[in-house]
Amino acid sequence: MSLRYNCALTVDCVVFSGNGVVLIRRKNPPFKGEYALPGGFVDEGETAEAACIREANEETGLKISELTMSGVYSDPGRDPRGRTVSIAFLARADISTLQAGDDAAEVEVVENWKNAKLAFDHRQIISDAYELMQMLERL
């Protein structure tokens, strides 16, 4: 049986620091210059978790210490380049190593993320991860 592929698998990494979240400014289209979560495409033979750790490191310099899946985002129109499904992870990291790289023109902790212009569906992804983080802290 052969499988039919109709979408690409991506990951997004949500790292909170204080009242802010780690965001990059995209170096490339789509949404060039806009804030986005670190993330990207899962490579062939790579797990989603490994892709999240790799992408976060390549774009922000962060070394992720733990991951918790926070959601799956599959709206067919979420990426103007074509159909993508993203697995989002809530992550912990020491942000002292924060440094833009790879597809990131800049990286910073953005405290006003609720009002910032964000690429893709990243506002929803951050909001969902924030709710999950608050729930986990109450346990």
The string of pLDDT tens digits covering residues 62-76 is 999 899 999 999 999
Note the pLDDT tens digit of each residue in 102-120: 889 999 999 999 999 999 9
Note whether residue 103 is domain-resident.
yes
Q: How far apart are CA 52 and CA 89, in angstroms?
A: 8
Note whether residue 66 is domain-resident.
yes
Helix extents (H) in 12-103 = 48-60
Average of per-residue pLDDT across 29-40: 96
pLDDT class for 54, splitting at 50, 70, 90? Answer: very high
CATH number at residue 58: 3.90.79.10
**Where do we find the tokens 């951050």?**
126
- CA distances for 9 relative to 52, 83, 85, angstroms: 11, 9, 5
Do the bridges between strand 104-110 and strand 20-26 make them parallel or antiparallel, or are there none, so unpaired?
A: antiparallel
Note whether residue 122 is domain-resident.
yes
- What is the rounded average pLDDT for all residues in the chain? 95
Catalytic residues: 106
Note whether residue 2 is domain-resident.
no
41's enclosing H/E stretch is strand 39-41
For residues 42 and 55, is the Cβ–Cβ distance under 8 A?
no
Average of per-residue pLDDT across 39-43: 97
Question: 105: domain range?
Answer: 8-138
Average of per-residue pLDDT across 16-29: 95
Whole-number pLDDT of residue 5: 76
Note whether residue 14 is domain-resident.
yes
Return the closest-CA partner of residue 91 out of 124, 116, 54, 119. 54
Note whether residue 1 is domain-resident.
no
pTM: 0.94
**How many domains are contained in the chain?**
1
- Name 89's bridge partners: 13, 69
